[in-house]
Amino acid sequence: MKNSKSNTKNTAKTRGILDLFFFILMIFVLIPQSTGIAIHEWLSFIILLPFLLHLILNWNWIVTHSKKLFNRKKRKIKFDYIFNWLLYIVMMVVTVSGIVISESTLLSIGINFTITPFWTMIHNTSATLFIVLLGIHLALHWTWIVNTYKKLQLISDFHHGKHLIKIIKKHKIELLVLITISTIISIGIWLIEFTNWAETINQNSVKNQTSNSEKLPKQWLIYVLPFIKVSVLLCIPAVLTRQIIRIKLKLKNYDFIRKYYKKNNG
């Protein structure tokens, strides 16, 4: 029993350290102007590791709620479950579209994709959507985040990061399943390039191209505007989600009090 509590505590600290690293890395990836295209692309590949590890650390939650999905008696699908799947799919779209519009990383290893307007549009749109969804995701798990980082001492508890090696060894099959699922979904996303929708967007984009060059914004705006965009798209959905959660809890408490009063007072 004591070992079980200790393992749970260690896992929580490991997850806290991993998620913090994942979030910081994600901010750099979402603001490519902060690092430059080459580093941005390398970080986009590197971030897949903490992303998959994040899913592995939540594997029990994924399995439990997936089973409920096919259980007739417990077929109540929670918003959080559907939302996490949506976040995962959007992450895959951002990744795949980022790969096929790569300007540096893939060229360095001899792979060359033709950059099309379709994939550029998909990458920019999905990245923007991901920022919004990430803000909502943080808000949904804000209580856990606050409680975890209150207990976490980054310097003295940093060694818990080594616990990841044990987790990877323990969940080798699950990790393989995740990689397989992600690969299949990625291929499915890539095949969209061969649809009429993609072809239409590419053709319309070529027709709309003009020889007029747009005036570039001031140098400092190139760095400031993306940071403002990420901050706004991340924070506003997070704040709104927290307000909705508070209102929902108040209504739930009000309904409980009303039922309790009605029961005891006839």
Span 168-190, pLDDT tens digits: 888 889 999 999 999 999 999 99
Query: What pLDDT is attached to residue 1?
Result: 45
Looking at per-residue pLDDT, the higher value among 44 and 33 belongs to 44
Which residues, 6 or more positions from 94, have their beta carbon under 8 angstroms from its beta carbon?
A: 123, 126, 127, 130
CA distances for 14 relative to 148, 168, 257, angstroms = 10, 12, 39
Q: What is the enclosing helix (H) or strand (E) of 56?
A: helix 48-57
Give, in degrees to the nearest 5, the angle at Cα 12 between 11 and 14: 60
- Distance between start and end Cα atoms, the chain: 46
The pLDDT tens digits for 69-108 are 777 666 566 788 889 999 999 999 999 999 999 888 888 8
* Domain definitions of the chain by residue range: 2-201+220-264
From the CB of residue 34, how many other CB atoms can be counted at a distance below 10 Å?
15
pTM (2 decimals)? 0.83
Residue in the block written with tokens 């099309």: 116
**Percent helix, strand and coil across the chain, each to the nearest 5:** 85, 0, 15
Angle ∠(134,119,176) on CA atoms, nearest 5 = 60
Residue 55 CA to residue 243 CA, distance in Å, equals: 27
Tell me the residue ranges of DSSP E strands in 156-227: none
Residue 211, pLDDT above cutoff 50: no
Sign, CA torsion 18/23/29/35: negative
Which own/partner contact pairs does 184-193 have at CB distance under 8 Å and 24+ positions apart? 185/89, 185/92, 186/92, 186/95, 186/96, 189/92, 189/93, 189/96, 189/97, 190/96, 190/100, 192/122, 193/100, 193/116, 193/118, 193/119
What would the pLDDT profile of 140-175 be if each residue is shown by its tens digit?
999 988 888 887 776 665 666 667 777 788 888 999
Q: Which residue has the higher pLDDT, 41 or 258?
A: 41
CA distance 110 to 88: 29
Token output for 125: 């749109």
Residue pair 135/241 in contact (Cβ under 8 Å)? The answer is: yes
- At 159, list the tokens: 């060694």
